[in-house]
């Protein structure tokens, strides 16, 4: 892209910027305006005496307004404490003036359930928009044209959403894109971006358990119980149990889905609990299964390494 003679290196002219904005500007969805009673994500742009002026992010930043009376169910003492410029909010559509392109919205009518659903839809829509925008930039095509050819048709049956269709295309691209009019070069770029952005990343799940057995052959009973727990492993969700320091153990797994991973760990815990109870032992869950952070992972690895060194030192002292 060329720059004007007076522009510093690396900058573009106002005309070029306008052309680029037109190329890459587009709403998330096929419908140009939201429906009445639909909840949308808005960005607060300005606060006035009448209420808050906002932009509907999913609908190409068309302007809307949340009237003062629709901001809160409670008495408003200070509008600036209630809503702030630059903040994203969930609002419900009350009226749509398609001729003027203007939307009246309400914040006080939004329920917690509405917020959860709207956030989820926005997150998926934003991911799809990011992918399509990337393709528009790299191929020089208009984002609107690409959405009309690819994204919006996939939002219809048999798919629940374009996001779902894109996820399916990672493993079966032909069934998703086979009936669409996409040139080979664009499709290849699209699949590359989808796989980079939407391929599920394994998450690590951990539970801390305490296993004890003071009966005869208690050590064998604990070992067998832990092996029984690990035997619940599947290819998709492997279960590993590691000793921290008797009687504390960590149960670990990796899974693509959080819920399935936690369910698998809970199942393994029940198997260990049943096995050790049959030998007069006991299992106590010290920390329930949860997704671990990188910091926790690092701390566990450091602790395991230190325990191994301590064990080696202990064994060497015994030999001496």
Instruction: Give all domains of the chain, ordered by start, each with its CATH number.
Output: 39-110 (2.40.50.140), 117-198 (1.10.150.190), 203-319 (3.30.70.1130)
Question: Alpha-carbon distance 210 to 189, whole Å?
Answer: 50
Question: Alpha-carbon distance 311 to 305, whole Å?
Answer: 10
The phi-psi region of residue 39 (left if phi > 0; otherwise alpha if psi is between -120 and 50; otherwise beta) is beta
Residue pair 297/204 in contact by the 8 Å Cβ criterion: yes
Question: Which residues neighbour 6 within 8 Å (Cβ) at sequence distance 6 or greater?
Answer: none
With 0-12 / 13-18 / 19 or more C-beta atoms within 10 angstroms meaning exposed / middle / buried, residue 243 is middle
Q: Within 13 Å and on the Cβ side, how many CA atoms surround 187? A: 14
Residue pair 71/79 in contact by the 8 Å Cβ criterion: yes
Q: pLDDT truncated to tens, each residue of the chain (320 aa)?
A: 444 445 565 566 777 777 777 788 999 999 999 999 999 999 999 998 888 999 999 999 999 999 988 888 777 666 767 788 999 999 999 999 988 878 999 999 999 999 999 999 999 999 999 999 999 999 999 999 999 999 999 999 899 999 999 999 999 999 999 999 999 999 999 999 999 999 888 899 999 999 999 999 999 999 999 999 999 999 989 999 999 888 999 999 999 888 999 999 999 999 999 999 999 999 999 999 999 876 777 776 776 666 666 555 555 555 55
Question: Alpha-carbon distance 37 to 62, whole Å?
Answer: 17
Question: Alpha-carbon distance 67 to 61, whole Å?
Answer: 18
Q: What is the pLDDT of residue 140?
A: 93
Give the alpha-carbon dihedral of 152, 154, 158, 161, to 10 degrees: -80
Cβ burial 12-37 (10 Å sphere, 16+ → b, else e): eeeeeeeeeeebbebbbbeeebbeee
Question: Alpha-carbon distance 85 to 141, whole Å?
Answer: 34
Bridge-based pairing of strands 203-212 and 248-255 is antiparallel
Q: What is the pLDDT of residue 9?
A: 59
Q: Is the peptide bond before 306 cis (omega within 30 degrees of 0)?
A: no
Q: What is the pLDDT of residue 4?
A: 47
Question: Which residues neighbour 4 within 8 Å (Cβ) at sequence distance 6 or greater?
Answer: 13
Question: Alpha-carbon distance 301 to 320, whole Å?
Answer: 29
Q: What is the pLDDT of residue 19?
A: 75
Q: What is the pLDDT of residue 53?
A: 95
Q: What is the pLDDT of residue 1?
A: 44
């Amino acid at each position: 892209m060329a720059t004007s003679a007076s522009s510093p290196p690396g900058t573009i002219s106002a005309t070029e910027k306008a052309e680029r904005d037109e190329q890459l500007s587009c709403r998330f969805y096929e419908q140009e305006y939201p429906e009445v009673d639909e909840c949308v994500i808005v960005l607060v742009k300005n606060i006035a005496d009448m209420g808050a002026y906002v932009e509907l992010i999913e609908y190409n930043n068309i302007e809307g307004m949340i009237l003062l009376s629709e901001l809160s169910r409670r008495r408003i003492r200070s509008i600036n404490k209630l809503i702030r410029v630059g903040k994203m909010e969930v609002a419900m559509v009350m009226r749509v003036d398609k001729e003027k392109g203007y939307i009246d919205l309400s914040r006080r009518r939004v329920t917690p359930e509405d917020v959860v659903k709207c956030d989820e839809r926005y997150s998926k829509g934003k991911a799809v928009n990011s992918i399509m925008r990337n393709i528009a930039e790299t191929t020089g095509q208009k984002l609107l044209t690409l959405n009309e050819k690819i994204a919006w048709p996939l939002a219809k049956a048999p798919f629940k959403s374009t996001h779902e269709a894109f996820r399916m295309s990672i493993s079966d691209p032909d069934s998703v894109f086979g009936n669409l009019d996409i040139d080979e070069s664009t499709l290849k770029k699209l699949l590359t971006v989808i796989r980079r952005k939407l391929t599920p990343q394994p998450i690590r799940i951990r539970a801390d358990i305490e296993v004890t057995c003071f009966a005869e052959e208690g050590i064998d009973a604990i070992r067998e119980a832990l092996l029984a727990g690990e035997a619940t492993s599947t290819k998709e969700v492997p279960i590993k149990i590691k000793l921290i320091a008797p009687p504390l153990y960590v149960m670990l797994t990796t899974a693509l889905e959080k819920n399935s991973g936690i369910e698998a760990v809970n199942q393994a815990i029940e198997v260990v609990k049943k096995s050790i109870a049959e030998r007069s032992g006991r299992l106590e869950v010290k920390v329930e299964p949860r997704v671990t952070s990188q910091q926790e992972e690092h701390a566990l690895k450091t602790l395991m390494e230190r325990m191994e060194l301590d064990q080696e030192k202990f064994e060497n002292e015994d030999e001496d």
